């Protein structure tokens, strides 16, 4: 499962912010090559968007795809973002598929404390996500139990949507509550025009799909998001 190298990405990052390409905008017919290419272009981890057609109106990928990527790129940290109603039901299958970070939503049906405990017991880092319309107060009681908090900056379901700037105040509120070993991730509409405000607000893991896979120079796109 987790190797020494992959386990250290969140708690001992090579530098911050980390850049996490979301493979949702990759060419699925050439997925393995695309993933290798973004890692060789400087990405720190891979972000996999799992959608169940209920929590969000789209269907994407599952543990089998995660396992194939883990087999091909065993040292790459796999960040799995579950936009599903019952994330608890998928913990074992994603742990067995080589997932390093398992992120569920505070809006999903499962109890976040129970979720964090079960994810940790399965040997993965635990993340908790919050959607744009949800009040920041809904997530604050659970923040201490997680390794990463994900603030969604679009309504989840599809890549290529416009960034919702109102969520930046949520980032500022949450970042004040975090320990140095906890990360704050932004996901949705993060690109050349929005990445600086995300970094300034306190985000240290930036997810981007279209702003990386929609360009013909992944290294330049990743360096631009990182800002150094």
Q: With contact defined as beta carbons under 8 Å apart, do 124 and 93 qualify?
A: no
Is 187 marked active-site? yes
Q: Residue 164 Cβ, how far from Zn ion at the closest point, in Å?
A: 14
Measured distance CA(225)–CA(84) in Å, rounded: 28
Contact characters 3-32, ligand DX5, x per CB under 6 A: -------------------x-xx-------
Question: Across the strands, what pairs with 50?
Answer: 82
Q: Using the rule CB under 5 A, which residue among 34, 79, 110, 187 binds Zn ion? A: 187
Measured distance CA(61)–CA(96) in Å, rounded: 15
- Check residue 105 for interaction with Zn ion (CB under 5 A): no
Measured distance CA(170)–CA(173) in Å, rounded: 5
Q: What are phi and psi of 84, to 5 degrees?
A: -135, 160
Q: Residue 150 Cβ, how far from Zn ion at the closest point, in Å?
A: 7
Q: With contact defined as beta carbons under 8 Å apart, do 209 and 58 qualify?
A: no
- Check residue 104 for interaction with ligand DX5 (CB under 6 A): no
Q: Using the rule CB under 6 A, which residue among 91, 207, 222, 225 binds ligand DX5? A: 207
Is 110 marked active-site? no
Binding interface with ligand DX5 (CB under 6 A) = 22, 24-25, 47, 49, 81, 154, 156-161, 187-190, 207-211
């Amino acid at each position: 499962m987790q190797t020494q190298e992959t386990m250290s990405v969140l708690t001992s990052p090579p530098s911050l912010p980390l850049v996490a390409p979301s493979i949702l905008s990759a060419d699925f017919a050439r997925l393995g090559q695309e993933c290798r290419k973004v890692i060789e272009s400087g990405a720190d981890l891979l972000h996999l968007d799992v959608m169940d057609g209920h929590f969000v109106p789209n269907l994407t990928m599952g543990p089998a795809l995660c396992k194939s990527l883990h087999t091909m790129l065993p040292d790459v940290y796999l960040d799995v973002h579950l936009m599903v109603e019952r994330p608890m039901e998928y913990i074992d299958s994603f742990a067995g598929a080589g997932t390093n970070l398992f992120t569920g939503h505070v809006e999903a049906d499962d109890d976040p404390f129970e979720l964090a405990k079960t994810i940790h017991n399965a040997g993965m880092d635990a993340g908790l996500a919050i959607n744009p319309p949800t009040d920041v107060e809904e997530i604050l009681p659970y923040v201490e139990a997680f390794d990463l908090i994900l603030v969604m900056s679009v309504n989840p379901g599809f890549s290529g949507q416009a960034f919702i700037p109102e969520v930046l105040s949520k980032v500022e509120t949450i970042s004040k509550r975090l320990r140095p070993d906890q990360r704050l991730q932004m996901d949705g509409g993060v690109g050349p025009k929005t990445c600086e405000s995300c970094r300034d607000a306190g985000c240290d893991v930036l997810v981007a799909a279209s702003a990386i896979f929609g360009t013909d120079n992944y290294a330049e796109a990743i360096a631009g998001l990182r800002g150094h």
